[in-house]
Amino acid sequence: MPAAKENGAERILDVAQSHIQRFGYNGFSFRDVAAEVGMKSASVHYHFPTKADLGVAVVKRYHEQFAAALGGASDSALSVEELLARFANVYLAVLNADQLMCLCGMLGAEVAALPEDVATEVKNFFSYSIDWLTIVYERKDQSNGKSETMAPRIKAQRHLATMQGALILARSMRDPKVFNEIANAI
């Protein structure tokens, strides 16, 4: 959520994130970002010396914002259904923004082409997401008494995979409804 007044570094992060979500890590340049922010590429290098530095900063900030939007998974004030709905809504906000991929869904696909620092941050984001969902599914299993055959962590992985794939499908089919249909089907 871009605040009303942002410093140069923040505006660069906003634009860089949007470009990565649209075109991928290899699909944007310092000049692209600089032009949209309203400065020259040398000024972007002042804030983020290398492209890997910029990539790492974008992913770290995204991770933090994502965690803030999700809140705690063991928050007992919310039901399991409310927590999963919140998770879906965070993804829905991403898609509706401008038919964007999840930042880390995009970078996850490209992971073999990323600087190692950036790839590590992407892994951290997914680890966090799986941990969050695992806690929710553990609570779900506890609440309904029947013995579950599938481990909560596997359910969490499947849940996350379905959301990421739904974003790819919706974009590829050029039909945002596809995401909603899949998200509601989970």
Partner DNA sequence: GTCTATAATTTGATAGAC
Partner DNA sequence: GTCTATCAAATTATAGAC
> Which residues make up the interface to DNA (CB under 7 A)?
7-9, 28-32, 34, 38-43, 45-47, 49-52
Give the single-character DSSP code of 166: H
Which tokens is 147 given? Answer: 């013995």
Residue 31 binding result from its own copies, DNA, none, given CB thresholds of 5 to 8 Å by partner type: DNA
CB of 39 to its own copies, least distance (A): 23
By beta-carbon proximity to its own copies, the closer residue of 126 and 139 is 126
Site mask for its own copies (CB under 8 A), range 131-160, x = bound = -------------------x---xx-xx-x
- Residue 35 touching its own copies (CB under 8 A): no
CB of 45 to DNA, least distance (A): 4
Q: CA–CA separation, 8 vs 17, rounded Å?
A: 14
**Binds its own copies (CB under 8 A): choice among 101, 118, 133, 135:** 101
Task: Name the residue among 113, 68, 26, 31 with its Cα closest to residue 15.
Answer: 31
The DSSP code sequence of 81-150 is HHHHHHHHHHHHHHHHHHSPPPHHHHHHHTGGGS-HHHHHHHHHHHHHHHHHHHHHHHHHHHHS-SPPSS
Phi, psi of 46 (to 5 degrees): -60, -45
| Part of the chain binding its own copies (CB under 8 A), chosen from 62-70, 72-80, 98-106, 138-146 | 98-106
What residue type is assigned to position 27 of the chain? Answer: G
Residue 122 binding result from DNA, its own copies, none, given CB thresholds of 5 to 8 Å by partner type: its own copies
- From residue 124, give the alpha-carbon distance in Å to each of 14, 15, 35, 62, 183: 20, 22, 31, 11, 24
**Binds its own copies (CB under 8 A): choice among 73, 104, 135, 136:** 104
Chain positions contacting its own copies, by CB under 8 A = 22-24, 26-27, 99, 101, 104-113, 119, 122-123, 126-127, 150, 154-155, 157-158, 160-166, 168-169, 171-174, 178, 181-182, 185-186
